[in-house]
Amino acid sequence: MKLQKKSDENKIRPGLHSKLGGKVCGMVFGVFDDLHLGHEFFLSEVAKECVERKCSKLIVVVTLPEVVSFLKKKLPRQNLEERLGGVETFFKSEKFFTSKTFGNKAGTEVQFSVIPGDKEIGSWKVLKAHKPNVIFLGYDQQAIAKELDKLKRLASSNPKADFVGDFSYKFIESFMPEKYKSSLRKGSVRK
């Protein structure tokens, strides 16, 4: 497993996916504030899906605080660097490797990148830069699915608009949402 951190939006290199060959990557979006068992379950399930789909790279896109504030009307408890670090730490942890994520897939290697999200809502710069094959969504990310459907319709109606690539998306089941849904957890910083 390789872990790559890119904390500057300008460091995202368009065309990176074509250098890796084959089915390249999965992508997830999230706030990942105070990483908890629900997040860990989600990330582990996504890693399993990447192995099954023979994806060589998983990109975790962590939402910027100003975007969280706009969308959820509250700020995350942790700053961006803490949230990026929390995801990275999980991927490096013994807990991740012993979660049966990789099963008997000896030799399977997925490169994990944890990057900050777009500054402008709806710009989809990370999507355009990395062109993932599949986007994995949390059970509660229906709004993102609707936006992705709009992007796909735009691309199909305008062949020159293939700026987002050909992707699919899949919802990942929840893990005890009555206990681990972030919005239910105490201590969120309200705007």
In a domain, 184, yes or no: no
**Domain holding 79: CATH number?**
3.40.50.620
pLDDT in tens, 76-104: 999 999 999 999 999 888 777 655 555 44
Task: State what percent of residues in the chain have pLDDT above 70.
Answer: 70
pLDDT in tens, 1-43: 444 444 443 333 333 333 334 445 899 999 999 999 999 999 9
In a domain, 187, yes or no: no
In a domain, 185, yes or no: no
Q: Give the Cα separation of 47 and 58 in Å (integer).
A: 8
In a domain, 191, yes or no: no
Instruction: Give the residue from 173, 172, 171, 154 showing the smallest Cα distance to 163.
Output: 154
Q: Give the Cα separation of 147 and 63 in Å (integer).
A: 16
Q: Give the Cα separation of 163 and 66 in Å (integer).
A: 25
In a domain, 66, yes or no: yes
Number of structural domains (the chain) is 1
Range of the domain at 37: 2-177
The helix (H) or strand (E) run that includes residue 155 is helix 142-157
In a domain, 57, yes or no: yes
| End-to-end CA separation in angstroms for the chain | 38
pLDDT in tens, 43-71: 999 988 988 888 888 999 999 999 999 99
In a domain, 188, yes or no: no
In a domain, 133, yes or no: yes
Q: Give the Cα separation of 161 and 130 in Å (integer).
A: 15
Higher pLDDT, 158 or 19: 158
* pLDDT at residue 90, rounded to an integer: 92
The helix (H) or strand (E) run that includes residue 12 is none
Read off the pTM. Answer: 0.78
For residue 188, CA distances in Å to 78, 177, 183 come to 9, 16, 7
